[in-house]
Amino acid sequence: FSKKGSIRNRPRKGQSTKLSGRSVRQVQNLASKNRSMSAASIALEVAEVEEPLVSAQTIRCTLQQVGLHWHHLRRKPLLKLAYKKARKQFAEDNLSKSMNYWNHVLWSDETKINLFGSDGVQH
């Protein structure tokens, strides 16, 4: 009142935030406890408590503002140590087999070979 001489609410800059401070802290706790949780699932959990449903993009922006930068999870290696050992054992066991033996072996691998270009990247 002392600066403007009025008690009228002044218009603010920009759009108001969708999430309250409590919800921002909840998002931060959920993301830091379970790093594999997606932004969409965090948005659903926040909506269960109090807030209206917010988009996953809003959750991502909120996490960046609080300093939690999202990342892609590292994929699990396709070959486990046990499989590597079994493959090595198979190679050592069959090292002394003759070439005639291997010519009569029917190989049934799952390799797909394209003769004319690729089928495109598939995830």
> pLDDT, tens digit, for every residue of 39-94?
889 888 888 877 678 899 999 999 999 988 877 777 777 788 899 999 999 999 99
Range of the domain at 48: 21-65
Report helix, strand or coil for 108. coil
b/e burial code for range 7-39 (CB count within 10 A of at least 16 → b): eeeeeeeeeeebbeeebbebbbebbeeeeeeeb
- Domain-embedded: residue 39: yes
- Domain-embedded: residue 47: yes
- pLDDT at residue 123 tops 60: no
- Domain-embedded: residue 28: yes
Q: Quote the pLDDT of residue 96.
A: 92
Residue 46 contacts residue 33 (beta carbons within 8 Å): no
Tally of structural domains, the chain: 1
Q: Quote the pLDDT of residue 20.
A: 85
- Domain-embedded: residue 94: no
- Domain-embedded: residue 27: yes
- Domain-embedded: residue 25: yes
Those residues with Cβ within 8 angstroms of residue 55's Cβ, 6 or more apart along the chain or in another chain: 43
Mean pLDDT is highest, among 7-11, 27-31, 52-56, 71-75, for 27-31
- Domain-embedded: residue 31: yes
Q: Which two tokens stand for residue 105?
A: 């072996």
Q: Quote the pLDDT of residue 98.
A: 92
Q: Which of 13-17, 42-46, 48-52, 98-102 has the lowest mean pLDDT?
A: 48-52
Mean pLDDT (the chain) is 83
- Domain-embedded: residue 56: yes
